[in-house]
Structure 1
Amino acid sequence: MSATSQRVVVITGASSGIGRETARHFAAQGAAVVLAARGEPALHATAEEVTRAGGTALVVPTDVAVWPQVEHLAKSTREHFGRIDVWVNNAAVSGYGELNTMPVEAIHRILDVDLRGHVYGVKAVLPILREQGHGAIIGVSSGLGVRAVPLMIPYCIAKSGVNALYEGLRLEERRARSGVRITTILPASIDTPFYDSARSWMGVRPAPIPPVYQPKAVAEAVVFAADHPRRDIYIGAAAQLAMVQRISPALTDRLLALGGQVFTRQQRDEPDRGQSNLTEPTPGDGAVDGGVVRFALPRSRWTRLVGFHPALARSAAIASVGTIGWRLARRGPARPR
């Protein structure tokens, strides 16, 4: 076992998208980054980027839905580096289509990776962090875990469960005074290869719900949380969606249903050819960006100005509720039908 003075960071889903960009950000700080995903060629390509950025890379091929592999990931990291400072649960897959059209096997796989994968990650690393008396667990969830949308129901179910996992875990670790810090990251739509890899039962390829952000908007939040633990950090429009949902789920239903846009905006004018990474990793060296939109916002002003500062977040929420309440009050009481 070789100890290191570097920060040791484990990232699942590190072969592409948010995970890969997050690895780059930690590497720029000189961290030792353990890269976990199923696709070995893409993992090794990421490892080269980590090294070039100034970090140290360790590749550990892992399917997060398989407990022995996740357990091996945690143990091999500690054996190699002597400890774990940050564990980022990030791996995710998805499928698009109405629930009625999705095979049960695909639903199982989405729930296994997107929910069970987080549970396995926590179970594998928590004993190590408790023994150390310090460490951070950062779970990359989604704004869709607060408010579900059609055509992605299994994914939304999984992300809702992920939010519940970290809410409960946060209280357990606080009571235990373990020194383990828990942060949930809740992004809006991010321009990653996610949409080219997801299985589709719509006849066309899926698309992200606008507005869309670049992966670095999430990576910045993950790196920030490693040093400044927060309960939740929303990325972009996910925050506004969550606020409206908490104020009035019925109003959120109506807003999402306007003109059927929540359906049409999740569909590209591009025929589906059966692309899927549900059971096999996407071949090739992987990538950070997806290129499925013409323009993705480089960062979230909400996250930088409010999300990183809990007091401002509470003030913004109170102000938003007050503004909506004032507007509703101006309309007067509803007329009986």
Structure 2
Amino acid sequence: MRIRLKPIDQQTIVITGASSGNGLAAALEAARRGAAVVLVARNGKSLERIERDIVASGGRATSVAVDVASRGAAEEIVAKAVADFGGFDSWVNNAAAGVYGTLEQVPVEDHERIFAVNYFGTLYACLAAARHLKERGGGAIVNVGSILGDRAIIQQGPYSASKHAIQGLTDTLRMELEHQGAGISVTLVKPGGCGTPYPEHARNYMDNPPRIPQPLYHPDIIADAILFACTHRKRSIYVGGGGVAASLVGQLAPRITDLVMEAIGTRMQQEPGDAGDPAMRDNLYRPKADGEVSGTQKNWVRRSSVAVALQKPSRGMWLGAAAAIGAAALVAARIGKAGEAER
């Protein structure tokens, strides 16, 4: 079955982790562009406020307060989307939990919780979304991974491992649905550092408050990439040139990257004296203060990403690139013929 994705203003989009950060940014932008949004997170009070704000602004929204790590949560989300909007066209798996510390410092229970949210929450959602979209005739599943799925970072082992797992899950799901002719696009969005409340929300076992190393990109950029994946068939989208560079260097020179990480990786992820809003701290097992797109630490964030722009060229850009390649090939052929004549 050919994959046909609707314009944003004709879609209903499910977004998990929609109470803060990238998920909230994606939900607000989707609603602004005319989509109906199904907001999913654990913090029911924050979701209710966000839903009210969207509706008051003329948008369409509903919300489901569930823990995506719980079995049955995905089916509850599907039921809510069907009841309120007749179903959905795209499902965005953005919900994630984080922890800072060495593998030895982090208790096994916390490792398990990270995988319960990040991997199994995504797995449950992918299976439920695929079932619904097959019946609906197609759509999009967008998983939000990380450049840490390409290259692990010191002090975030459990999170890095879970994002590696999501890479494998996403690739497998894409192949299986394509083989079945399901008409479902499967995209992995890979952000670099984002200016979200992630450091405040993460559990921390380091001596100083955690931070995300620069360069940081505003959540609106990640939201734009997510919504592009809801309307265009893409295998993956990297967000942020810094993340692309880190991923490439990590794969091309892994040993050197190891040594750099060992030398400065811990220091790069610590922010002495700036822990952000204490009410947000550590939401690993239960929700804390929520409802913000950006983090509360004092960080400079980039408002644009050339990397994202280059990964979603217009048809005109593709035609221009093809014409340039054709012209270059023609010139090369003529030069080659001239060289043969001289010989």
Work out the CA distance in 1 between the residues paired with 2:225 and 2:267.
30
Residue type of the alignment partner of 2:232: H
Q: Calculate the aligned-residue CA RMSD, in Å.
A: 2.1
Q: What residue number does 1:326 align with? A: none
CA positional deviation for 1:234: 0.3
- CA distance in structure 2 between the partners assigned to 1:10 and 1:19 by the alignment: 10
Q: Identity percentage over the alignment?
A: 34
* 1:288 corresponds to 2:293: yes
1:1-337 pair list within 5 angstroms: 6-236=10-240, 237-257=242-262, 260-270=263-273, 275-283=281-289, 285-305=290-310, 307-309=311-313
Q: Which amino acid aligns with 2:288?
A: T
Paired letter, 1:249: P
Measure, in 2, the Cα distance between the counterparts of 1:41 and 1:199: 22
Normalised TM-score (structure 1): 0.86
1:135-173 deviation line (CA, Å, top 9, x unaligned): 100001100111001111000000000011111111111
How many equivalent residue pairs? Answer: 305
User: Which residue identity lines up with residue 292 of structure 1 in the other structure?
Assistant: Q
Cα distance, 1:51 vs structure 2: 2.2
> For the Cα contact (< 8 Å) 1:36–1:62, is it kept in 2?
yes
State how far apart, in whole Å, the 2-side matches of 1:304 and 1:6 are: 23
With the length of structure 2 as denominator, give the TM-score of the two structures: 0.84
Secondary structure at 1:189 match in 2: coil
Q: Does structure 2 retain, via aligned residues, the 8 Å contact 1:26–1:55?
A: no
How big is the shift at 1:81?
Answer: 1.5
SS at match of 1:60: strand
In structure 2, the CA distance between the partners of 1:193 and 1:271, relative to structure 1 (3 Å rule), is closer
Structure 2 residue matching 1:58: 3-state secondary structure? strand
> Structure 2: how far apart are the matches of 1:133 and 1:36?
23
C-alpha contact (below 8 Å) 2:274/2:297 kept by paired residues? no
User: Which segments of 5 or more consecutive residues in structure 2 lack a partner in the other structure?
Assistant: 1-8, 322-343
Offset from partner CA, 1:304-332 (integer Å, 9 cap, x none): 12x224999xx9xxxxxxxxxxxxxxxxx
**Rg larger for:** 2
Q: Unpaired segments of 5 or more residues in structure 1?
A: 316-337
**Structure 1 residue matching 2:37: 3-state secondary structure:** strand
Superposition misfits of 4+ residues, deviation over 4 angstroms = 271-274, 309-312
Counterpart-to-counterpart distance in 1, 2:312 and 2:257: 25
